[in-house]
C-alpha cells in the first residue's frame, strides 16, 4: 500500500515542481512585460496572453500539491479533539469525496478541452497565441491529479483506520 501512495505522491511532487517553475517564469515574464511596455512603449499581445497561460498550470497542478503538503484550509481546532480512530474516519470520508469530486471535474473538463481542440480555438486577438486547448488541458489534468491525491489519502486513512481499530478477537487465558 505504501508503494502505491509513494508513487502517486511522487507524481504530485514532480508536477508541483513544474507549477513552482511556472510561477517563477510568470514573475519574470510580468517583470519583462512591464519593462518592455514602459521602457520601449511596446506591448506584445502574445506575451500578455502567455502570462495568463502560465496561471493555469500554477493553479491546476498546485491544487494537488497543496493537498499533498496539507497546506489546505482545515478546521483543525475541532479535528484535533477527535480520537485517532475518528480522525482516520473523517480523513477517509474527506479523501473519498476528493476522489469523486476530482474524477467528476476531470471528466467534465475533458469535454470542455476537447471542444476547444475540435474547433481549433486560438486567441481572438491579433498576434495572440494559438492552440488554446493546450492550456485548457491543465483543467482535466489538474482535477485528475487532485483525484489521485485523494486516492493516496484514502489509502493512508484506510491504513490508519485499520491500525487504530479495536481487535475484535480477544485471547482468553
Task: Give phi and psi for 73, each to the nearest 5.
Answer: -80, 130
Q: Is the pTM of this model over 0.85?
A: no
Residue 105 pLDDT greater than 80, yes or no: yes
- How confident is the model at residue 25, as a pLDDT? 96
Residue in 106, 18, 94 with CA at minimum distance from that of residue 62: 18
Query: What is the reported pLDDT for 165?
Result: 67
Mean pLDDT, the chain, rounded, equals 88
Q: Please report the beta strands in the chain, taking only residues with DSSP state E, as ranges in sequence order.
A: none
pLDDT at residue 50 tops 60: yes
Chain Cα centroid distance, residue 113? 17
Q: In this structure, how many other beta carbons lie within 10 angstroms of the beta carbon of residue 135?
A: 21
pLDDT at 169 over 70: no
List, for residues 109-164, the tens digit of each pLDDT value. 999 999 999 999 988 888 888 888 889 999 999 999 999 999 999 999 998 888 87
What is the model's pLDDT at position 171? 45
pLDDT digits (tens, 9 = 90+) for 64-81: 999 888 877 776 778 888
**Do residues 3 and 146 lie in contact, with contact meaning Cβ atoms separated by under 8 Å?**
no
**b/e map of 92-113 (b: 16 or more CB within 10 Å)?**
beebbebbeebbebbeebbeeb
Amino acid at each position: 500500500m505504501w508503494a502505491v501512495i509513494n508513487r502517486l505522491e511522487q507524481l504530485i511532487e514532480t508536477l508541483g515542481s513544474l507549477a513552482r517553475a511556472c510561477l517563477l517564469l510568470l514573475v519574470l515574464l510580468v517583470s519583462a512585460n512591464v519593462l518592455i511596455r514602459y521602457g520601449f512603449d511596446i506591448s506584445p499581445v502574445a506575451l500578455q496572453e502567455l502570462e495568463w497561460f502560465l496561471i493555469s498550470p500554477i493553479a491546476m497542478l498546485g491544487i494537488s500539491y497543496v493537498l499533498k503538503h496539507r497546506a489546505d484550509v482545515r478546521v483543525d481546532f475541532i479535528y484535533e479533539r477527535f480520537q485517532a480512530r475518528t480522525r482516520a474516519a473523517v480523513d477517509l470520508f474527506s479523501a473519498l469525496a476528493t476522489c469523486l469530486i476530482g474524477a467528476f471535474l476531470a471528466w467534465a473538463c475533458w469535454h470542455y478541452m476537447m471542444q476547444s481542440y475540435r474547433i481549433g480555438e486560438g486567441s481572438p486577438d491579433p498576434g495572440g497565441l494559438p492552440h488554446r486547448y493546450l492550456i485548457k488541458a491543465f483543467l482535466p489534468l489538474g482535477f485528475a491529479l487532485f483525484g489521485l491525491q485523494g486516492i493516496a489519502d484514502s489509502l493512508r486513512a484506510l491504513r490508519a483506520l485499520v491500525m487504530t481499530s479495536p481487535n475484535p478477537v480477544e485471547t482468553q487465558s
